[in-house]
Amino acid sequence: MVSMKDISAACGVSIATVSKALNDHNDIGSETKQHIKQVAKEMGYSPNSAAKALKTNRTYNIGVLFSDDNHSGLTHDYFAFVLDSFKSTAERKGYDITFINVSKSRDRRMSYLEHSRYRGFDGVAVVCVNFYDPEVEELVRSEIPVVTVDHVFNNRISIVSDNVKGMRDLLTYIYKQGHRRVAYIHGVDSSVTRSRLSSFYHTAEELGLYVPDEYVLEAPYRDAAAARIMTEKLLDLRTPPTCICYPDDFSAFGGMNAIMERGLKIPEDVSVAGYDGIRAGMHIEPQLTTIKQDTARLGRCAAEKLISLIERPKTTIIEQVVVEGKVFEGRSVGKR
Amino acid sequence: MVSMKDISAACGVSIATVSKALNDHNDIGSETKQHIKQVAKEMGYSPNSAAKALKTNRTYNIGVLFSDDNHSGLTHDYFAFVLDSFKSTAERKGYDITFINVSKSRDRRMSYLEHSRYRGFDGVAVVCVNFYDPEVEELVRSEIPVVTVDHVFNNRISIVSDNVKGMRDLLTYIYKQGHRRVAYIHGVDSSVTRSRLSSFYHTAEELGLYVPDEYVLEAPYRDAAAARIMTEKLLDLRTPPTCICYPDDFSAFGGMNAIMERGLKIPEDVSVAGYDGIRAGMHIEPQLTTIKQDTARLGRCAAEKLISLIERPKTTIIEQVVVEGKVFEGRSVGKR
DNA sequence: GTAAAACACTTAATCGTTTTCGTGTTTCTA
DNA sequence: TAGAAACACGAAAACGATTAAGTGTTTTAC
């Protein structure tokens, strides 16, 4: 590995001069500078991020905390899309991204914060984790710049999808299609769930839609099997709903299967709505009506905000950025 | 940030002693060692990976090259699963993973190899990229330990799914269900495609299955729209196939839609088989018959092999590890 | 023509670790 | 009891970069 020392020797100048030449400082003569750059290229100089980081305290590396209770991890469609967008935005701005370890390593495990300090991340993005984990708390409250996605912490930047508007739009759409008996299987408790649920109730009231208690059930996110069971409960009611909303598209798939297995038709007998707008939903029969999240924007916003916070901490506004999704009109919600 | 220097001052010993104590060297007295560790904990010592890396030339960081022509990136279901497994295996063994930049950064872009050297990756995994990219070549031929997934390079370790056996098993299953007119829409040229295609022909011959040329078409991977078009071509033939195999599950979704839109029933009129076994396939109607790849094993193997190559270069066998998938019997391939 | 300013480098300290040699005590060994 | 091990620790160099301060030379200004 050829270092600045080698170049300085080859060029007959000091290491400092090499450093400055390569970094385009303006107290180096232009022909010296050109020559040094030339030689560096010829010798195949490769900079050493560790040395640079040690000296400058900047790594141009962003940590990403990415995991959840179900251990869906990277295979979580919605968050994978967000992460993908986050990644390319960060890369375009000159940052690399490294995952913050979530599994216990060979020897003593580090906490998220310890790990972040160890790697010297310039900033951290928290996505798709259990936000009530004390280690997450510790990380978020630390001195390291942080953005969170889909969860609001006090006095931190967060990027959240507009669950209130999303649920309102979805329910309104369903209502306009003529449905008057709408059930909602919501996810387990979290800020996302709470936003959607209260929006559901609030919108129902606005629309003059009566929602009996037995129409509102809970199931874990992305658990097709659980959604099945809940769906069957709903279908067993004396007056079953004409439309069922699910916590996410995957759950909707599970629900659809339960419905079809009873010989019922979608959307003729029962309508179904998902949430998230994952790709597979477009390809199934009938095409799933859902809220299409703007994952590209979520990821991009998160990266931009975080990098802004890193590079211009004073002028970066600490705020919650809300990203709207929109109703994707498939064919799983029919007219009544 | 409290460093070894701070601890050495607090304990009245030299920095060297602190380093050795914390690293459990055995030329430090046990009570001194205990005391130093104690103080380190109390003072909230946080180690600095950059300094350590600079000195030891080991980062415990693995680079992952992950991208493709379609820019599916992280949202590529099959590879996301592989990566997820890779990630958790690596983490369990004490390695972090960092993405190798694929987009051009703000200033001059680094090549994959330059980037890897810059970050000092102990090793690199190459997944889901265009393997004919000269930059990939450069990286693979370099001094850095490398494993590749689903592509074989000369004299490098690679983990490949058993496409020959997979295709054979799938076609054999289809044959046993009574199909005699089987079409295959294969992916674009790559080592994976070639294995599957030759296995398809070979197996057909073994089975005594005649495959007319017009039954074999090409479409890009994971392109539902292209699969639609090809499917329609097949359905327009004077003797259309009774079963269509697709390059992957997503393409199969596209094909299924084309079939259903013609009012044909799956599997009564036309049967459909996918490849990969992504989650969504389980949830659609009819459930997709496909080859379920062992993504967990692929990722785990890749990580284990790479880490072995890093830690024990001499004793690690350079080989192609083949991971078998198996037929997932859904309901999209019917009996004839 | 001379002091000051501008220019083009160099020196040397520093970031936080690791690790090779010492070196001074203590404990065996014969 | 003298010499050799064994033990417990320290000094200092090194990893590869950055940067403040210093130095000698040339240009500028009046």
Residues of A in contact with B96 (CB under 8 A): 98-99, 101, 119
Residue A207 to chain B, least CA–CA distance (Å): 33
pLDDT value for B86: 96
Mean of pLDDT values over A127-150: 91
Distance in angstroms: CA A10, C1' C25 = 49
Q: Inter-chain contact B120–A49, Cβ cutoff 8 Å?
A: yes
Alpha carbon of B228: minimum distance to chain A alpha carbons (Å): 11
Question: Is residue A134 reached through a cis peptide bond, with omega within 30 degrees of 0 on the bond before it?
Answer: no
Mean pLDDT over A158-177 rounds to: 97
Instruction: Give the nucleotide nearest to B7 (CA→C1').
Output: C16
Across the interface, whether the CB atoms of B75 and A87 are under 8 A apart is answered no
**Closest chain A residue to the Cα of B3, Cα to Cα:** A118
pLDDT of residue B132: 84
CB contact under 8 A, A46 and B106: no
Q: Which of B4, B43, B96 to mutate to test the interface with A (most CBs of A within 10 A)?
A: B96
Q: Which residues of A touch B256 (CB under 8 A)?
A: 283, 285
On the question of pLDDT at A107 being above 70, the answer is no
Residues 5-24 of B with CB under 7 A from strand D: 12-17
Residues of chain B with pLDDT under 50: none
User: Which pairing describes strands A243-245 and A216-218: parallel, antiparallel, or unpaired?
Assistant: unpaired
Distance, CA of A172 to CA of A212 (rounded, Å): 18
d(CA A90, CA A97): 8
| Nucleic strand D within 7 A of Cβ B237 | no
**Residue A232 C-alpha from the chain's centroid:** 31
Question: Does residue A106 contact residue B90 with C-beta atoms inside 8 Å?
Answer: no
* Across A89-103, average pLDDT: 91
pLDDT digits (tens, 9 = 90+) for B318-330: 999 999 999 999 9
Distance, in Å, from the CA atom of B259 to the CA atom of B184, rounded to the nearest integer, reads 15
A304-314 mean pLDDT: 97
Q: Compute the count of residue pairs across chains A and B with CB atoms less than 8 Å apart.
A: 159
A28 CA to D26 C1' in angstroms comes to: 15
Residue-wise pLDDT for A217-235, tens only, equals 999 999 999 999 999 999 9
| Interface contact flag, A80 B74, Cβ < 8 Å | yes
Residue A307 binned pLDDT confidence (cut-offs 50, 70, 90): very high
Residue of A nearest to B41 (CA): A114
Mean pLDDT is lowest, of A148-157, A164-173, A236-245, B48-57, for A148-157
Which strand C bases fall within 7 angstroms of a protein CB?
A: 7-12, 14-20, 22
Greatest C-alpha distance within chain A: 90
B320, β-bridge pairs: B158
CA distance, residue B205 to nearest chain A CA (Å):
34
Q: How many whole angstroms separate alpha carbon A53 and alpha carbon A55?
A: 5
Flag if B94 and A106 touch (Cβ within 8 Å). yes
Residue of chain A minimizing CA distance to B288: A284
Report the pLDDT value the prediction gives residue A321, as an integer from 0 to 100: 97
pLDDT, position A106: 54
For D20, which residue's CA is nearest its C1'?
A16
Which residues, including other chains, have CB under 8 Å from residue B65's CB and lie 6 or more apart?
Answer: B99, B100, B102, B112, B124, B125, B126, B127, B129, B136, B139
Q: What is the pLDDT of residue B129?
A: 80
SS (H, E, C) chain B: CCCHHHHHHHHCCCHHHHHHHHCCCCCCCHHHHHHHHHHHHHHCCCCCHHHHHHHHCCCCEEEEEECCCCCCHHHCHHHHHHHHHHHHHHHHCCCEEEECCCCCCCCCCCCHHHHHHHHCCCEEEEECCCCCCHHHHHHHCCCCCEEEECCCCCCCEEEEECHHHHHHHHHHHHHHCCCCCEEEEECCCCHHHHHHHHHHHHHHHHHCCCCCHHHEEECCCCCHHHHHHHHHHHHCCCCCCCEEECCCHHHHHHHHHHHHHCCCCCCCCCEEECCECCCHHHHCCCCCEEEECCHHHHHHHHHHHHHHHHHCCCCCCCCEEEECCEEECCCCCCCC
List of B residues 48-87 with CB within 7 A of strand D: 51, 54-55
Q: Whole-prediction pTM value?
A: 0.93
Which residues in chain A have Cβ-Cβ distances shorter than 8 Å to B280? Answer: 253, 278-280, 283-284
Condensed to tens digits (0 to 9), the pLDDT of residues A280-306 reads 899 888 999 999 999 999 999 999 999
pLDDT confidence of A76, banded at 50, 70, 90? confident
Is strand D in 7 Å reach of the CB of A32? no
Q: Show residues of chain A in contact with B101, CB under 8 Å.
A: 91, 96
Residue A70 in this model has a pLDDT that exceeds 70? no
| B46, B80, B94 member nearest A107 (Cβ) | B94
Contacting residues 11-30/A vs strand C (CB within 7 A): 12-17, 20, 27-30
What pLDDT does residue A108 have? 62
A46, containing H or E segment: none
The single residue listed with the structure tokens 């195949």 is A44
